Amino acid sequence: MTLVDLHHAWAWVTIVANAVAGTWSLAAHWIPALRRRQLWWFVGAAEVTIFVQVLLGVAIIDSSQFGAASFHMFYGFVALITVGLLFAYRQSLVAWMYLLYGLGGLFLMGLCIRAMLIKPF
């Protein structure tokens, strides 16, 4: 399996993980029984998938003689910035934290889908 194949396959892991994390967090905003410690472990794991995906993309660019589409890279870096913003605002929006991470997870999923729609290489 090449790095490009791994990057493509991992994109689906990233999309599904953030979709589930976002949906679970949104549901937990309204259903207190879903507010479990496992939710935060899953959200963390879903966000780590974004870092792995960006690192794979950087490794592809570094190891090849061709570059990636500008907007493909843009969406990847916006996803990284979004993860940082979600983490930064978690303390100031404690009352809305489930809503923040729910909408944030779905936004990250959308960014990843949009990046996939652009031919990366």
User: Residues of the chain whose pLDDT is less than 70?
Assistant: 66, 120-121
DSSP codes of every residue in 62-96: HHSSSPPPHHHHHHHHHHHHHHHHHHHHTTTTGGG
Give the pLDDT of residue 22.
98
Instruction: For residue 39, give both structure tokens.
Output: 């939710």
Condensed to tens digits (0 to 9), the pLDDT of residues 66-84 reads 677 888 999 999 999 999 9
Number of H helices, E strands in the chain: 4, 0
Alpha-carbon span 28 to 7, nearest angstrom = 31
Give the pLDDT of residue 107.
98
